[in-house]
Amino acid sequence: MARVYNFSAGPAVLPEEVLREAAEEMLDYRGTGMSVMEMSHRSKPYETIIHEAEADLRELMNIPDNYKVLFLQGGASQQFAMIPMNLMKNKVADYIVTGQWAKKAFQEAKIYGTANKIASSEDKTFSYIPDCTDLPVSEDADYVYICENNTIYGTKFKTLPNTKGKPLVADVSSCFLSEPVDVSKYGVIYGGVQKNVGPAGVVIVIIREDLITEDTLPGTPTMLKYKIHADNESLYNTPPAYGIYICGKVFKWLKKLGGLESMKELNEKKAAVLYDYLDESKLFKGTVVKEDRSLMNVPFVTGDEELDAKFVKEAKAAGFENLKGHRSVGGMRASIYNAMPIEGVQKLVEFMKDFEARNLK
């Protein structure tokens, strides 16, 4: 068996240890005689799986007691509608647009009320995070929305915006569990798990209890009401059971590694290997201003589209998968999520140095 170094932005690399453990349990989960894929979500074994997953996540993130953890379906994109449907009491919300996903969430919110774009970095192709210390937050805004780490463009909020007392809603899909966070600073913090936590099909929503009400927008489907899922402990209908099971294993893997402080240290070391090389390279260059660089997603270019394509092709042949940049920006992007070993980044840089030596004019 030959495992490649998978730099995909999502679905992305998972810890090999977790995959092996899941493979061992595939046909018979702990003496039940069946796979987790086959068992009832109402059964005792599955009840234990989902409750343990929540308990471990609460421990990892130090989630306060007045927050609910919901394991939902529909991906992060479904939250673009679910958030305004549940939170837009005044039908006003403020959005900080720093990439494609924040832009899509902003456009979706316009369907349900007045969505105000109070800051944006679109003027420079989303290559930076705007100053959010003194924003024109609307007096009647129900919340302020950000995408905290921008997968496509490789930027990250290092300081949360000053929301002037309004609840902060954050999409953390591509930086989920990559470093410690203070959950109490958010009204809602959510993420699709397929980038840093588990297989596609699960979105985790961590929401402050006072924001969970029956007062949703008229016409909100039952399945899109946070209260329904909170009251039923994420088991209102059949959840993405196997995906949650894998997430639970990843939570235990993170705990074993020493938690989110340890993970942050490792992620900073990994990112430094790649960024340090990009800063000294005469062929490759990063596309993000230094102070806003993501630890998870690293976009870079040669400045020549043909050379970019040649690099991606040769890298693939050498065992480095999914390095092509998003279609909207081109170039290359290395997503170096939690489960990417540091050796993978080191070997990528070795390959880049060799490519530079062979192609620098």
The residues carrying an active-site annotation are 101, 171, 195
* β-bridge partners, 333: 299
At position 162, the amino acid (one-letter code) is: N
Phi, psi dihedral angles at 258 (to 5 degrees): 115, 10
Quick one: DSSP state of residue 250? H
Distance of alpha carbon 51 from alpha carbon 139, whole angstroms? 39
* DSSP β-ladder status, 168-171 and 67-72: unpaired
Query: What sign results for the dihedral spanned by CA atoms 83, 88, 91, 96?
Result: negative
Residue 192 tokens read as 């699709």
Residue 337 tokens read as 């999520």
- Given a contact cutoff of 8 angstroms between Cβ atoms, the answer to whether 333 and 9 are in contact is yes
Helix axes 241-257, 44-61, angle to 10 degrees: 40
Residue 323, SS3? coil
Residue 110 tokens read as 């316009």
Distance of alpha carbon 191 from alpha carbon 49, whole angstroms? 20
Closest to 133 in 3D by CA, of 152, 157, 99: 157
Distance of alpha carbon 36 from alpha carbon 125, whole angstroms? 44
* β-bridge partners, 19: none
Cis amide prior to 45 (ω within 30 degrees): no
At position 190, the amino acid (one-letter code) is: Y
* Residues ≥6 apart with Cβ < 8 Å to 200: 10, 11, 75, 192, 193, 194, 243
Distance of alpha carbon 53 from alpha carbon 69, whole angstroms? 10
